[in-house]
Amino acid sequence: MGHSSRKSFDRRAFLRATAGTTVALAAASVAGATAASAVTAPATAATRGLTIPKDRIGIQLYSIRDKVASLGFAVVFAELSRIGYREVEFAGYTQDTAILGRQITLPEIRKLLDDNGLSAVGSHVGIGNLRTNLQAELDAAQILGMPHVGTANAPSNLNTVAGYRAAADEFNVWGAAATARGLKLYQHNHAGEFAFATDQPSVRLYDVFLKNTDPRHVYLELDIYWAYVGQYRFPGFDPAAYVRNQPYRYPLFHMKDGDTNPSNANGYDIVEFGAGDLPYERFIRDIGPRAAHIGIWEQDTAPNTQPNPPGSLGAAARSFTAIDQLLR
């Protein structure tokens, strides 16, 4: 599998340290909950002088999609700012229309970001929108003040060399349009991009996409969890090596944690950050000292966190604490 058996955190100690946090958040209001307890762990040589800044920890709003939908951006942004997040990656620009009696507008979302000391770092949009509505997506990015706009869709549904080359050509066009607007276009991976081409079983699809996209216009957001799942399912590569070899192409990371589970076809279960055993310290050391990468927390399963409330916001608070401690 090629992943370290040493955990970045002592899982039992982490869960003991954060148990009180869940109770506190459940008892308090969303806007006024007490700050999450800090996880005490010593700084190590592996985590000093990092290329992931600790003062710009971000969150993918998909992780707390239930709270965005029901409570709205105003309440959610206030809570994220209180927790300590500074960067927000969008997964849509809507909330429950009952909150305002209508749908919120992009300028209103931008004002809420500014009022809470948050910055929009990027957004996941459907690949179909890039094909048919590119300029409107770039408009939205500029209104919200984000430097990046991207997609979490696979480059192509055709897992062939030709399919991924054609996808690279599309991304090059979209990326050039984004560059012309002062933006960076990015693609976010899942595990499937690391599979081998069906027509050339010795060729990894991700390598085809990387080789055929223009580094001046197309960037990558490495989802670290899914990269390690890709390593488990399609062995023969090191996730950190991609970043080390082309550091400036990876402005964003998804910092999602996983816990080893051989009964899961992916090799890992998605868990709160710090409760898993993905080798984050080793990864951070191995990506090298060049460039800077914004770390964005994501947990697909966070809305199911118990107890609920606080649900996904409780997971967000505990995961922020763990990431902050890792980056010290």
| Bridge partners, 148 (sequence order) | 184
Asked if residue 139 has pLDDT above 90, the reply is yes
Q: If DSSP codes are grouped into helix, strand and coil, which group holds residue 87?
A: strand
Q: Report the pLDDT averaged over residues 21-47.
A: 35
> When comparing pLDDT for 264 and 9, which is higher?
264
| Bridge partners, 171 (sequence order) | none
Q: What is the DSSP string of 201-244?
A: TTSBHHHHHHHHS-TTTEEEEEEHHHHHHHHHHS-S--HHHHHH
Q: Among 16-25, 45-54, 98-107, 289-298, whose mean pLDDT is lowest?
A: 16-25
How far the first Cα of the chain sits from its last, in Å, is 28
Asked whether 237 and 231 are in contact (CB, 8 A), the reply is: yes
The model carries a pTM of: 0.86
Rounded Cα distance between 109 and 99, Å, is 13
Rounded Cα distance between 123 and 170, Å, is 19
The chain-wide mean pLDDT, for the chain, equals 88
Asked whether 268 and 228 are in contact (CB, 8 A), the reply is: yes
* Residue 93: how many other CB atoms lie within 10 Å: 19
Asked if residue 142 has pLDDT above 90, the reply is yes
Q: Give the burial string for 56-73 (b: 16+ CB within 10 Å, else e).
A: bbbbbbbbbbebbeebbb
Rounded Cα distance between 166 and 300, Å, is 30
Per residue in 48-80, pLDDT (tens digit) is: 568 999 999 999 999 999 999 999 999 999 999
Q: Report the pLDDT averaged over residues 236-253.
A: 98
Rounded Cα distance between 80 and 91, Å, is 16
Per residue in 177-201, pLDDT (tens digit) is: 999 999 999 999 999 999 999 999 9
